[in-house]
């Protein structure tokens, strides 16, 4: 029960962070995103620890699910902290930031949602009968509501070029065209990084 409350509080802090980004612009409230991530991570760790105490992840199938969830977590961390320009995204900047529309952000506008859902689904199935699956699905539901809020309220006010991004890139479910765009822009970004 504590983990569910911690995760819900984490999402409340995410909403607070977003509302602050286009209303009050308080430096103190700007830290609510990091605190929300910490609370959600703590909730997930508590659920994993409870599942392990109950003997979860002991068979080969469960270990495969554990690894699959860990890969989804790695993809989530990549989407949130490495596929985006960190300073422009998470730190105060002087000018308006530009939308990142390459790599995984050409795939869909909110790729982290799919990664988080996969993580909780794999870990939750491996942790049965623990409450991780239930809590993870609730957190994924909150995450979907959160990105809907971002897509309609926060990002159009934060990124001047977001309306064009909305027209060109699918919301959550990748299409054939967006998969090709993600692959093409990923390769171009890698080539640019490798050039002298």
pLDDT tens string 116-165: 999 999 999 999 888 999 999 999 999 999 999 999 999 999 999 999 99
Q: What is the largest CA-CA distance in the chain?
A: 53
Question: In the chain, count of helices (H) and strands (E)?
Answer: 10, 0
pTM comes to 0.91
Q: What is the C-alpha separation between 76 and 79, in angstroms, rounded?
A: 5
Show Cβ contacts of residue 65 under 8 Å, excluding neighbours closer than 6 positions: 57, 122, 123, 125, 126
**What's the CA gap between 20 and 42, in Å, rounded?**
24
Sign of the CA dihedral 179, 184, 185, 187?
Answer: positive
d(CA 88, CA 128): 40
Q: For residue 129, is the peptide bond before it cis, meaning its omega torsion is within 30 degrees of 0?
A: yes
Question: Between residues 193 and 55, which one has the greater pLDDT?
Answer: 55
Angle between helices 132-149 and 32-53 (to 10 degrees): 160
- 82-94 residue pLDDT tens: 998 766 665 556 6
């Amino acid at each position: 029960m504590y983990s569910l409350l911690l995760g819900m509080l984490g999402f409340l802090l995410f909403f607070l962070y977003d509302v602050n980004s286009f209303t009050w612009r308080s430096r103190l409230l700007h830290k609510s995103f990091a605190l929300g991530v910490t609370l959600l991570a703590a909730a997930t760790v508590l659920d994993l620890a409870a599942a392990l105490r109950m003997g979860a992840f002991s068979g080969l199938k469960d270990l495969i699910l554990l690894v699959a969830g860990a890969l989804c977590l790695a993809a989530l961390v990549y989407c949130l902290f490495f596929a985006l320009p960190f300073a422009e995204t998470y730190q105060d900047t002087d000018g308006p930031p530009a939308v990142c529309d390459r790599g995984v952000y050409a795939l869909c506008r909110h790729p982290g949602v799919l990664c988080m859902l996969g993580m909780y689904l794999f870990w939750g199935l491996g942790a049965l009968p623990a409450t991780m699956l239930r809590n993870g699905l609730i957190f994924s539901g909150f995450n979907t509501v959160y990105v809907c809020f971002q897509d309609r309220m926060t990002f159009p006010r934060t990124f001047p070029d977001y309306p064009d991004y909305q027209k060109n890139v699918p919301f959550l479910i990748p299409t054939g065209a967006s998969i090709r765009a993600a692959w093409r822009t990923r390769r171009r970004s890698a080539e640019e990084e490798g050039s002298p």
